[in-house]
Amino acid sequence: MVRWECPPRCLSPHVLPARSHCEELTWHPPRGDGQARVVRWTCDCDPAFYELCQSGGLRFIRRTVRARNNPSIDESDHWPAGEADAMWIALLHGLAR
Ligand SMILES: [Zn+2]
């Protein structure tokens, strides 16, 4: 795992800024899937944080952008675990957003 330079309160990884050849993910309104289980997450000290969620046999990424009093939540496409994990790594490294 990458070592992150961050204040001591930050225990979770941060996403790196999007790179120029960053892949554009498709974001959808949340499905309201109560079954989804969060398996990985990024640090919530950033205005936008991400969670890798497992639902049934598939995984997706949930994005929360904090605006004043009104966080906006979006979800990516659903993928098989291997593909979703690769997308999660790409997201952390600024290669998908
Ligand atoms: Zn942090």
End-to-end CA distance of the chain: 20
Query: CA-to-CA distance for 44 and 15, rounded, in angstroms?
Result: 10
3-state secondary structure of 80: strand
Say how many Å lie between the CA of residue 7 and the centre of ligand 1: 7
Phi, psi torsion values for 87, nearest 5 degrees: -65, -35
Give the pLDDT score at 33: 75
**Nearest-angstrom CA–CA distance, 45 and 33:** 25
**Confidence at 2, pLDDT banded by 50, 70, 90:** low
pLDDT in tens, 3-55: 556 566 788 999 999 999 999 999 999 988 778 999 999 998 888 999 999 99
Section 78-95 average pLDDT: 98
Q: How far is the CA of 49 from the centre of ligand 1 (A)?
A: 10
Per-residue pLDDT, 92: 97
